[in-house]
Chain A
Amino acid sequence: MTEKPKVGVYVCHCGINIAATVDVEAVTEYAKGLPNVVIARNYAYMCSDPGQLLIKEDIKEKGLNRVVVASCSPRMHEPTFRKALQEAGLNPYFLEMANIREQCSWVHEDREAATEKAKQLVAAAVSKARLLEPLTSREVDAEPSALVIGAGIAGIQAALDIADAGFKVYLVEKSPSVGGRMAQLDKTFPTLDCSACILTPKMVDAANHPNIELFTYSEVEEVSGYIGNFEVKVRKKARYVDVSKCTGCGACAKECRLAGRIPNEFDEGLGKRGAIYLPFPQAVPAKYTIDPEKCLFLTRGKCGKGPKCVEACPAGAIDFEQEDEIVSFRVGAILVATGFDVFDPTKKPEYGYADYPNVITGLEMERLVSASGPTGGNIVIHNGEEEIVPKDIAFIQCVGSRDKSVGNEYCSRVCCMYTAKQAHLVKDKIPDARVRVYYMDVRAFGKGFEEFYDRVRREGIRYVRGNPSEIFRRGNKLVIKVEDTLTATPLEDEVDLVVLAVGLEPRRDARKIIELLRLSQSPDRFFLEAHPKLRPVDTATDGVYLAGCCQGPKDIPDTVAQAKGAAASALIPLARGKVAIDAQVAEVNEATCRGCGFCVSICPYSAIELVTVNRMGHMVEVARVNEALCKGCGSCSAGCLSDSIQPRSFRDRQILPQIAALGGTR
């Protein structure tokens, strides 16, 4: 029936990565003695061109029909070697890999034990390789559209790029306006160009683009399907304002009984808004929203003699009957650009953020220096007694970054530079201010960063190396206790204002996205990319891509670069119009299936159904797999009572020999 297996085994040295701990010669010799092995070789770098050529030539000359590569993890180079097999005319699924690097040479020191283990792993791989079957991957059509989650600068840029390439984009934003964090910033380092001036045109472009359908104040509720064919459900939350009628005139907000009484999220709580509000004047879309948690009419069912906003609105746009709306659509690719939250400084109580009004975060400082902010750009703070223009100002860096005690070991990458920028802006607005920066190290690594840091120091900003231990009040001043670690001098510094350079953290509701899209987190809790170096915008879920700070802290140029990269990746399935479906899916042996339907109830993708077939004159029910829906997890197989449903390449008869090879050692 089938050809007798002729296995070739290729043991990789990986330079010295494997060869230093595993005796590759011994493994090669051992492999030669395994059943069905016709040739075993070793080479310095199997993945290199000459390495692959070895395999290809052996396939042609020695007539190999199965290949075992003992090298790095299959998660690394399985596609590489599959391609090599294909190029030599062999079915790419006739490959099996033995992971003797990540799971052997790199984790064991004892050369003898590592070599023995490598031999067993090779034996297990050979035992499985003999029983591999040829598979063909099929292609299905890909939906020519994309979903972008999050409309900060990353999401906007990615949406614009995909839309400009001629594909439909659904851009979903949780808050009432697009713009994200960048809209909150004043000037941007190191060029000092104004954030709003470069961002707002893009916000408008995204809203007006004929290929972009914008959903603000909306959240993705459900995602199913796979690359090329995702089904998405979006909840458009009720704004209680008919956006087709609202002109953004703002008459309603002036009349709201709570006007000026609710802390405005956009101003980090420094400014106040009403229950009906526009987050900021340049918001896109310029449509008002009623806060359902605050509005008197919505929370208590009563607002004086009747909601004043309704009377005030000349367009009759306010509609308290409005309900959430669910919108469904299909997309071929999904781009996640959900951004970050800033570190909560109450977790470091020694800095007194919760106690003193003149201890503020870097993001609050942005709003304070911004001309569109609550003070109109004047740096005025309350020191507990009165409103003052601060003269002595201290910045503290690395608050919530590089700090194991709060669980954030990573560097947030932007705080050094935004601190330098804010110090510069303070000097600009209050020329006689005395500004100092307490730092651990200054990381000015980007284009123009070091030059900017140098410029700021020459402007008279004093950098003191030390990590403050405590902040407390003395009179109407704040006292910072710190040791200058360069001169080993303990200091007490009296200031009017402390700005905490808080770090970046994953969104507090990141869990929702993780569950929606089956994403993983890296140890820092940001979303995990498929490979830290070679696939920085892809995820383990095909067709889902990452952009911006949801993947890790970044400045604006890096965010835009990554967004453009993610857009280019997302465009691959859209532009091709087709995606390959994994061939390693489940298959039913209809001759033995008893039609019990266990697998049908197990399958998380509803990929299995019972169909009636004619079995030798008898009409019987058997399970059948829809290969386009099956993901090949194999859960059905472990539940099957007659072993009739089996995932290809992971069949019982392919796994049991592996168990025998690894078990039978004594």
Chain B
Amino acid sequence: MSEQFEPNIVAFLCNWCSYAGADLAGTSRIQYPANIKVIRVMCSGRVNPLFVVNALQQGADGVLISGCHPGDCHYMEGNFYARRRLKLLKELLEYIGVDPRRFNMSWVSASEGHKWKEVVEKAVEDARAAGPFNQFRRRQIGW
């Protein structure tokens, strides 16, 4: 039998809540799949929707964005901007034929190490179900 497909997922986490929550998962030794690789940004509002598209172009099978709970943003309203922009992006991606399961957005606070594990597991399962992503693949441009 063929091996289980291991999707590659790029995550953008805000520094104050979700990145701290992921750190807490570490301190608490909560185990989760290694498919997820995190890029730290100061606020989920920093995530330009094009980062998501770019990640899919660069070989990610799924993208996860996580920020503070609505109302708890360290920068007051950055996560509201993120929510609006990324909701729109998700619909656009779906419209052009990208499986919506490749894109997950969640709210994880600095005290939710367990929730972070659940969010990661869901993102990995979703991307695994969606399969390898090749629609956007372009020649590896390297860095």
Contacts and interface: CB of A to CB of B under 8 A. Distances in A.
B8 A666 contact: yes
A661 B26 CA distance: 23
Contacts of B74: 518, 540-541, 633
Contact of A521 (B49, B75, B109): B109
B77 A604 contact: yes
A45 interface: no
A75 B19 contact: yes
Contacts of B127: none
Interface string A95-119: 0000101111011111001101100
Contacts of A110: 34
B20 interface: yes
A634 interface: yes
Contacts of B48: 637-638, 652
Of the four ranges (under 10, 10 to 19, 20 to 34, 35 or more), the interface on chain B belongs to: 35 or more
Interface of B: 8, 10, 15-17, 19-20, 22-23, 25-27, 29-34, 37-43, 45-49, 51, 54-55, 57-60, 71-78, 81-82, 85, 109-112, 132, 140-143
Interface string A433-458: 00000000000000000000000000
A431 interface: no
A602 interface: yes
A660 interface: yes
Given A655-B51, A664-B58, A73 B23 contact: yes
Nearest to B24: A102
Contacts of A102: 22-23, 25-27
Nearest to B116: A107
Interface of B, helix, strand, loop or mixed by DSSP: loop
Given A106-B29, A117-B34, A540 B110 contact: yes
A632 interface: yes
B39 A107 contact: no
Contacts of A664: 58-59, 140, 142
A338 to B, nearest CB: 17
A109 B31 contact: yes
Interface in A616-666: 631-635, 637-639, 647, 650, 652, 655-666
A522 interface: yes
A99 B38 contact: yes
A569 interface: no
Contacts, number: 167
B111 A663 contact: no
Contacts of B37: 117, 120-121, 124, 662
Contact of A647 (B30, B32, B46, B132): B46
Contact of A604 (B47, B58, B78, B85): B78
B63 to A, nearest CB: 9
A124 B60 CA distance: 14
B109 A638 contact: no
A640 to B, nearest CB: 9
27 contacts: A35-B143, A73-B19, A75-B23, A76-B23, A107-B30, A107-B31, A117-B37, A518-B72, A520-B20, A520-B72, A521-B111, A523-B111, A602-B81, A604-B76, A633-B75, A633-B78, A638-B45, A655-B39, A655-B41, A658-B39, A660-B142, A661-B143, A662-B8, A663-B58, A663-B59, A664-B142, A665-B59
Given A75-B20, A662-B39, A107 B32 contact: yes
A528 B23 CA distance: 14
Contacts of A650: 41-42, 46
A634 B111 contact: no
Nearest to B76: A604
Contact of B34 (A113, A515, A584): A113
Contact of A528 (B27, B39, B59, B110): B110
A360 to B, nearest CB: 33
A633 B8 contact: no
A514 interface: yes
A584 B71 contact: no
A74 interface: yes
A419 interface: no
B64 to A, nearest CB: 12
